[in-house]
Amino acid sequence: MLQFEKTEKYYGNHLALSVPALELPEGLHWLQGENGSGKTTLLKMIAGLHPFKGDILRDGISIKKQRNKFLSAVNYGEAEPLYPSFLTAKDLLELYCYTKNAAITDSMDLLSELHIKDAYYKPVGTYSSGMVKKLSLVLAFVGNPKLILLDEPLITIDVASVDLICKFIKQKRDREGVSFIISSHQSFETAIHFTSTVLVKHQTLQIKEL
């Protein structure tokens, strides 16, 4: 369960997001909202990339007080991932696996299925935007996370990979009980059955169970 306690995000003097008190149960959550409503900001706050006021807790573990413990169980896939061009997929996967205490072999199947295993030793600078996106998704699944945050996971990737990612999300949820918060302007149709939608509107969150 994810708990928000007096969470506020300011950009300068502008209040971008305010969640005084909210509990988000485990499950598959579809994060919705207009462009610029603060979806990415919310995900980055939970992922530890953005500073904010207040606190966010996962199963009672505070990101402010027990940051490492919190982040060990929270993975994040960016909408437009940006990695140093000289790093290879191998470099990044080794870094993620080392810090998330995971085995590299566990990620190899997904790399292979997404057809980026051939580029494993090549610098990311030689990848297409779709390949970088696929790599970021593989990295988002590394280890044993309890919560995975995916920001627009379906953009720039091919149709076959979209099906594969949806299948993988379902597997992770059904077999390992991993929760997801997924922001997407695209519809998942019947591929994923969401528990709820989280609407970002008027600088706050509204949950609607499905």
Partner 1 sequence: MKPIIKVMQTVLVNHFYKLNAGFLAFFFFLFFGVVRGEQLIYFHVSLIKAFLASPVFLAMVIIAWGLYTLKCADYIIKRILEPRQLFLTCINRLAPKKVWGWMLYTHLLIYMPVLLYVLIALSFAVHAHQWIQVIIITISNLAFIVSATQAYFRVLQQQSTESFIFKLNLPEPKFAKPLFAFPLYFLWHERKQMLLITKVFSFLVLYGFISFYEPDGYDIRPLLLIFLLISAAHMSMIYQIRFFENEFLLFTKNLPITLTKRFVQMLGLYLVLFSPELIYVYRAYPLFFSINDYPQLVLILLSLAAFFHSVLLTSDMKAEDFLKIVFGMLAVLFFLIFYNPGSLLFVFVLLIAFVFFYGNFYEFEKSNQAKEVKP
Q: Residue 99, interface with partner 1 (CB under 8 A)?
A: yes
Q: Residue 14, interface with partner 1 (CB under 8 A)?
A: yes
For the chain, the residue count is 210
Q: Residue 75, interface with partner 1 (CB under 8 A)?
A: yes
Q: How far apart are CA 180 and CA 30, in angstroms?
A: 8
Are the beta carbons of 65 and 131 closer than 8 angstroms?
no
Are the beta carbons of 75 and 140 closer than 8 angstroms?
yes
Q: Residue 24, interface with partner 1 (CB under 8 A)?
A: no
Q: How far apart are CA 40 and CA 25, in angstroms?
A: 20
Stretch that binds partner 1, among 67-75, 105-113, 155-163, 166-174 (CB under 8 A): 67-75
Phi/psi of residue 111, each to 5°? -55, -45
Q: Which of 186, 119, 125 is CA-nearest to residue 159?
A: 186
Q: Residue 76, interface with partner 1 (CB under 8 A)?
A: yes
Q: Which of 21, 25, 65, 68 binds partner 1 (CB under 8 A)?
A: 68
Residue with Cβ nearer partner 1 (85 or 112)? 85
**Residues forming the site for partner 1 (CB under 8 A):** 11-12, 14, 16, 36, 38, 41, 47-51, 67-69, 71-72, 74-76, 78, 81-87, 91, 94-96, 99-100
